[in-house]
Structure 1
Amino acid sequence: MASVPRTVAVIGGGRMGAGIAQSFATAGSAVVVVESGQEAAAAALERIGASLARAGERGHLDEPAATVARRVAAVARAEDLPAGVELVVEAVPEDAGLKARLLAEAEAAVGDTAVLATNTSSLSVTDLAAVLRRPERFLGMHFFNPVPASELVEIVVAPGTAPDTVASALAWTEALGKQDVVVRDSPGFASSRLGLALGLEAIRMVEEGVAEPGAIDDAMRLGYKHPMGPLRLTDLVGLDVRLAIAEYLHATLGERFAPPRLLREKVARGELGRKSGQGFHTW
């Protein structure tokens, strides 16, 4: 049976980073979350603790939530990571420059045998690898929201990724109780590319008055057995996140990924989905 890393670092303690940290801590890893400053680090720990408490109340933990929470610590800088970290997962916003800088800082702090991974949903893993001294120890581990409940991790392999790095990522995914899909590095990978194509077309249908968001979602949920419709999923992911991915895929793959006007307008109004209370649905 595969086992999780003894120590995992997660760069970024937002919704995705907190979920990744919770998943590894629940599976038995010691986890260190890197956030930008002491206040943000404390907030990340509070976020993870609250999520673990809810999981415990729902019977989703095999041990008390407080026991799992004690496996999670936080630091204010990547330079403060312990040298014994086996896996670093970067989970900051989709800004290539920010990701590259933090990955390079983390690589300098941890040992040469550590695996580094990015949780990017669309950016080039190959380009991020170019800033690292050991690109063979780097790959994409794309988790899905909400991470503790999601079954999937998309493993993204760059040309320079070593086979043993991929093998470690696959073993850790199995140890988390999740399923893997392995894809070659390309814009949007498999999941974001296909998911975004459906989501953008659904937005265009709303824009053109074809149907209301609820009807479009019900058509895919009831007719095609999707667990949720593309517009509700867009709300869950965040309209701003979807827009950023669409802009990147538009630039790299062409006009079929051009963001609809309605998506831009909603983001400009602050209608970002569940996190703001309003997107294509009211939350």
Structure 2
Amino acid sequence: MKVAVIGSGVMGHGIAELFAMAGHEVWINDVSEEILKSALQRIRWSLEKLAERGSLKENVDSVMSRIRSSVDQEKTLRGAEFVVEVVKEDLELKREIFKRAERLASEGATLVSNTSSLPITEISQGLSHPERVAGMHFFNPPVLMPLVEIVRGEETSEDTVRKVADLSKQLGKEFIVVRDVPGFFVNRILLRIMEAGCFLVDKGFASVEEVDSTSMEELGFPMGVFLLADYTGLDVGASVWNAVIKRGFEAYPCRKVQELVSQGHLGVKSGRGFYSYPQPGKFTRPQLPSAKPGISHFILAPAVNEVASLIRQGIVSVEDSEKGCQLGLGLPKGMLRYADEIGLDKVMSALEEMKRLTGMGHFSPDPSLITLISQGKLGRKTGEGFYKYEARERTFTTIYVKREPPVAWIVLNRPSRYNALNWDMVKELSEALDELEEDPEIRVIAVKGEGKAFCAGADVQEFLSLTPVKAMMVSRKFHEVFFKIQFLTKPVVAAINGVALGGGFELAMACDVRIASKIAEMGQPEVNLGLIPGGGGTFRLPRLAKRRGLELVITGERLKAQEALELGLVDKVVEHESLEDEVTKFAETVSSRPPLAVALGKMAVNTGRETNSWVSSAYEASLFGLLFSTSDFKEGVRAFLERRRPEFKGV
């Protein structure tokens, strides 16, 4: 099939390369021989890189032999069966090209535009056959990015959509189909995220750097909001922004972008934008502060609202909305999943606050969001939001286990005794850990307490019946289950939701990660009973708190959560109501990593703590080498070279 690609710039030459790799005869057109020569050189360079990685099915010269270049647009278009327009975002220029293509291309040819902002319906106005016109929006770089956004204009036929979809699959791409609205789907969501960032900075809620660090650390974005704007070009973003605003898209004005563009500060390409770079065109990641608590739901809220609105209007399907966010924006999950995790009530609260502070009506929560909240469907925490969540529970005598893949919660369930550890609880903890280690859906195990306490320690009432020998045996059993946690092949998180004292604190210290509520308190008060810690406190506490460890053992001092954080006894302190969300975020992050590397990484670290550097280094080297035999390692390397998100299987 003859494919005509009009425009050989950043996107055009990549699109031409894709079609040639798929076996098509490709004609590429631009305004000068010099531009075309550069495009062909870049195509060859890209093909050679793909060949080096083993991603090219034939030799470079064979692919290049299918590409012809010409400054004669009519010659390029004549007889083409598929035409891709990839010129600058100029509506009249695009219309001229499509009129010429309709006249010169083969009868029944499909005509598509790679526009990222201009409506397909407007581009096809005045054509004799607008039903043969669609949007085929590739993402940069086209050869590597996995998604194509197919845009259905008002006149686009089902047959045209099907042809573009089939061709997208032939090119090795995933695709989504959206109706023709300004910005289509992916760019509308990106603009909503950008407007949220601008709002937070303008209103003094956060700095540019804090918005970026929060979006990456807490939300898992591949790049920060403003860093991405710099990377793609502030002028490009401003152009898309202006095009959709002109067509009725209401958004909070991002004046800083316009100001920077007017000063010639276009981001990485000019050496300066929101950040400064070593030289024009040279990207380096800036040093960023820690994430700013309490702003992540503001970053997401306008985008969630936009997705809900587009789905309700039939612009995009639920499935395609999630796929567009993941494959088009590179996010770890779609906006609806994000919303369910943070809570739909928090999303609505953020929207209402943004509306109150700006007076802008588009921040009004979408009716579909209001309906879900009125029905008590707030997301994962209530079992249903945009999606339904099946919480599979198993109830023991003193604990219960709630599976919410990728995380499983072991809940200490003796609230009337402040979840004090007794012999039954120790045995049931051990049994639950064994079960969850074997469950392939579970990637992280979290431990928390039912009610107001995490765990107030060992049940003192049971002490009264212990002989010295039995007391030693009980201590050994505590050690067994706590060492099981330490050497389990899955990360275990202590979600410290209240007091964690004595054996309860020892349980928390045996876990790999400790996230504490602001109201939590912890300590080893055994000395007040004439005892010492019996579940590992005498060696784990000094390791974590260093010189303060002995002091805490012999004084029995209780620490507030913030003090524990400063001593290194906990890894993070969060608002009480955010505790489960924080654990879930951690689980989501870990679940995106290769399971075998996570397991062996944990084993190497924990074994290294228990032995000398010679033994631990040899053990580390052995595990490092072992991972080279896994399919996950090969997938990780391929994904890195192909600039895509890896799909790890745990093999």
Superposed displacement of residue 222, structure 1:
2.9
Q: Say which of 251, 262, 268 aligns to 2:256.
A: 262
Pairs within 5 Å for 1:8-19: 8-19=3-14
Superposed displacement of residue 190, structure 1:
1.0
Aligned letter for 2:119? S
Distance verdict in 2 for CA 1:164–1:45, change over 3 Å = same
Q: What does residue 38 of structure 2 align with?
A: 43
Deviations 1:127-152 (A, max 9, x none): 11113221111000111111111111
- Counterpart CA distance in 1 for 2:243 and 2:252 is 9
Tell whether 2:302 aligns with 1:279: no
Distance verdict in 2 for CA 1:231–1:69, change over 3 Å = farther
Deviations 1:229-262 (A, max 9, x none): 222322333211110111122222254153x221
Superposed displacement of residue 69, structure 1:
2.1
Aligned letter for 1:107? E
Aligned letter for 2:247? T
Tell whether 2:162 aligns with 1:167: yes
Q: What does residue 67 of structure 1 align with?
A: 62
Pairs within 5 Å for 1:91-110: 91-110=86-105
- Counterpart CA distance in 2 for 1:94 and 1:202 is 25
- Counterpart CA distance in 1 for 2:57 and 2:272 is 35
Aligned letter for 2:217? L
- Counterpart CA distance in 1 for 2:40 and 2:56 is 18
Q: Which runs of 5+ in 1 are unaligned?
A: 1-5
- Counterpart CA distance in 1 for 2:195 and 2:54 is 37
More deviation in 33-42 or 139-148?
33-42
Q: Is the partner of 1:74 in helix, strand or coil?
A: strand
Tell whether 2:201 aligns with 1:179: no
Superposed displacement of residue 277, structure 1:
3.7
Distance verdict in 2 for CA 1:209–1:271, change over 3 Å = farther
Q: Is the partner of 2:11 in helix, strand or coil?
A: helix
Q: Is the partner of 2:251 in helix, strand or coil?
A: helix
- Contact 2:98–2:124 at 8 Å: present in 1 too? no
Q: What does residue 155 of structure 1 align with?
A: 150
Aligned letter for 2:245? H
Pairs within 5 Å for 1:91-240: 91-206=86-201, 210-240=205-235
The number of residues matched between the two structures is 277
Q: Which has the higher contact order (CA 8 A, sep 6+)?
A: 1
The higher radius of gyration belongs to 2
Aligned letter for 1:239? L
- Counterpart CA distance in 1 for 2:6 and 2:139 is 16
Q: Is the partner of 1:133 in helix, strand or coil?
A: coil
Q: What does residue 79 of structure 1 align with?
A: 74
Superposed displacement of residue 123, structure 1:
0.8
Q: Say which of 51, 58, 62 aligns to 2:53.
A: 58
Tell whether 2:21 aligns with 1:22: no
- Counterpart CA distance in 2 for 1:117 and 1:169 is 8
Q: What does residue 249 of structure 1 align with?
A: 244
Aligned letter for 2:153? A
Aligned letter for 2:133? F
Q: What does residue 531 of structure 2 align with?
A: none
- Contact 2:77–2:101 at 8 Å: present in 1 too? no
Q: CA RMSD in A?
A: 2.1
More deviation in 15-24 or 215-224?
215-224
Distance verdict in 2 for CA 1:45–1:162, change over 3 Å = same
Deviations 1:143-189 (A, max 9, x none): 11111111111110012111111110000111111111111101111
- Contact 1:81–1:109 at 8 Å: present in 2 too? no
- Counterpart CA distance in 1 for 2:46 and 2:269 is 16
- Counterpart CA distance in 2 for 1:153 and 1:218 is 29
Q: Is the partner of 2:166 in helix, strand or coil?
A: helix
- Contact 2:79–2:104 at 8 Å: present in 1 too? no
- Counterpart CA distance in 2 for 1:160 and 1:254 is 22
Aligned letter for 2:240? I
Task: Report the TM-score, using the length of structure 1 for normalisation.
Answer: 0.89
- Counterpart CA distance in 2 for 1:60 and 1:199 is 35
Q: Which runs of 5+ in 2 are unaligned?
A: 278-282, 284-651
Q: What does residue 3 of structure 1 align with?
A: none
- Contact 2:231–2:267 at 8 Å: present in 1 too? yes
